[in-house]
Amino acid sequence: MRFLTSFKIVTWPTSAWCATALVGVVVPVLFMLVLLTVFSPLALASGPIFTLALMGVGIIAAATAGHFWVGGALALLNAACLLALALALGMPVLAHPISTAVAMIIASASFAARGALFAKTLSTRGWLMALFVVAGEASVLLIASLFPGALPDWFLALLPAQWASIAIQAAFTGTGTFAALSVLIALAGTAATTLLAARLYRQRWPYLLMFTAWLGLSALVYTV
């Protein structure tokens, strides 16, 4: 019995970190390599890939480690490495490097905040919820990217992953931060309210505030 308990203690975090690496690192790199063969220039379709990299590492790592800053830092490090790979593969030099950094920092904070909340509320099983959330939102991103118009705008406006994808894509190819101001506000707002809920997770009112803010910010993204 003691052996089984020890085995679970050792393998449970290992599985979580393997899931983080697979979803947040391996899958985005594979998508980028495939995208390189069918889409040029690379920057025109990289928003969802970088979003998956930030989301996969940010949410799952924060939920696994139980710390917001771990998820945020690892997500940004992962995005920086992926950006270096993209530039090496021929993506043009960033037209708006500051806007790109702002978008990625805010997005990573929003994702890591959710991971921290899962860790608080679900303890060692928080990473499983994180994995489920990442898989769901990544699926929506994939459908929206491959089949534009297949999903209603109001539905896409509800997803923080879609907000991040818009912000990052705008930084890569648009007019920078101001082109995606509404989604950046939405990401920052959800990050703040989610961190509050994680800090006061034993109380109920922060959750009401978090969900109310999410709906209100989704409406902002949808109407702008």
Compute the distance between CA of residue 49 and CA of residue 138 in angstroms, rounded to an integer: 9
What local confidence, expressed as pLDDT, does residue 123 receive?
86
pLDDT of 2 above 60: no
**177 within 8 A of 102, measured Cβ to Cβ:** yes
Task: Write the DSSP string, 38-94.
Answer: H-SSGGGG-HHHHHHHHHHHHHHHHHHHT-HHHHHHHHHHHHHHHHHHHHHTTPPPP
Least reliable range by pLDDT among 70-79, 87-96, 120-129: 87-96
What local confidence, expressed as pLDDT, does residue 9 receive?
44
Determine the distance from the C-alpha atom of residue 168 to the mean position of all C-alpha atoms in its chain, rounded to a whole number: 11
Compute the distance between CA of residue 100 and CA of residue 71 in angstroms, rounded to an integer: 19
pTM: 0.90
pLDDT of 1 above 50: no
Compute the distance between CA of residue 5 and CA of residue 25 in angstroms, rounded to an integer: 30
Domain ranges of the chain: 2-223
What local confidence, expressed as pLDDT, does residue 102 receive?
93
pLDDT of 67 above 90: yes
Among 102-106, 145-149, 171-175, name the most confident range.
102-106
Where do runs of H (alpha helix) occur along 66-180? 68-88, 97-122, 126-146, 153-156, 160-173
DSSP 216: H
Confidence of residue 145 (pLDDT cuts 50, 70, 90): confident
User: Which amino acid makes up residue 40?
Assistant: S
**216 within 8 A of 132, measured Cβ to Cβ:** no
pLDDT digit string, tens, across residues 88-110: 888 888 888 888 999 999 999 99
Give the distance between the most distant pair of CA atoms in the chain: 60
Least reliable range by pLDDT among 33-42, 101-110, 138-147, 201-210: 33-42
Q: What is the mean pLDDT of the chain?
A: 88
Confidence of residue 176 (pLDDT cuts 50, 70, 90): low
pLDDT digit string, tens, across residues 7-63: 344 456 889 999 999 999 999 999 888 887 776 566 667 889 999 999 999 999 999
**17 within 8 A of 66, measured Cβ to Cβ:** no
